[in-house]
Amino acid sequence: MNRPSIAFAGTGTFAVPCLEALKKTTDIKLIISQPPKPSGKKRVLIKSPVCWMSEKLGLQIAIPRNIEDINDKISSLNLELLIVADYGQIIPNSTLKIPKYGCLNIHPSLLPRHRGPAPVVATILNGDCEAGITIIKMDEKMDHGPIVAQERCPLSGRETTSDLEAKLAQKASQLIVKYLPQFLAGNITLREQQHELATYHKLLKRSDGELRWTETAELIERKFRAYYPWPGIWLKKNIHGQEKIIKLLAVELLSGPVPVLAPGTFFWKDDILGITTIKEALKVNFLQIEGKKALTGEPFLRGYEDIIIRI
């Protein structure tokens, strides 16, 4: 049986399991990925996870600044399909029209919920009780096309973005392999999204991690999980006469009575480091002041007692 000829556009870690699965079941003519990005203090250029895996698999790679720039290359491949996952760039209509059967996008949410560039973050931040994978046939609008397949995934309420993205990536790799032959054979009835129910989430910025003391402990705990590993959550405090950033590296909701203190106040009670919010409080298990090593509660108390209220 002939394997379908495809191109695969992907960049981040979410796309890697899909790429590996498709390598076993399709004829991948071309990988399309984003250019290397600077990382770390020295701003060293780092290849995308999809580029690393593509090199390992011996696949041809194109890294255009805009995918339209390689439309002629894509046209020359006589593709049946372009499959997109975690690519990070809008695919223009001029590219969507090239493959024989169009383009499929693998999106880690239950569309039309959480369209946009950060669906896993949005799922956790909103306190959803389930996540999922949706495969759509792409049109010119973002995450807008008709649904090819969809699978739900119940949540425990303890997932971080890192955990959930890895779990959904595995489910996505299984789903695309399962439904791709049916789609190409014309055996799937496409289902229009309920566009009136669509929600969107913007691209994350580092500043999103700064805590606002108008938010409840429940919301901040969700932010901690949603923004893990990046951008994390953090606050500013005056320490020894200087304003410092304090990263909260591990937090959980604190049960029991909460001391009446201004939101954003560290306190020490029953051998637990906590921080108050506008409603309820958080237990802080691990934190780090900029320029210092990470600490648990008791060493933090010993070193910075002047910013902690003992109860």
Residue 110 annotated as binding site: yes
- Give the pairing type, strands 272-276 and 281-289: antiparallel
111 in a labelled binding site: yes
Cα 262 to Cα 7, 165, 286, 309, distances in angstroms: 55, 36, 21, 11
The distance of Cα 242 from the centroid of its chain, to the nearest Å, equals 34
Contacts of 256 (CB under 8 A, 6+ apart): none
Estimate the crossing angle of helix 16-25 against helix 49-57, to 10 degrees. Answer: 30
How far apart CA 221 and CA 294 sit, in angstroms, is 19
The answer to the question of whether 92 is labelled as a binding residue is no
Amino acid present at 131 = A
Q: Known binder of ligand: residue 299?
A: no
- Cα separation, 258 vs 269, in Å, equals 10
Helix (H, G, I), strand (E, B) or coil at 15: helix
Could you list the residues known to form a binding site for (6S)-5,6,7,8-tetrahydrofolate, using ranges: 109-112
Could you list the residues known to form a binding site, using ranges: 109-112
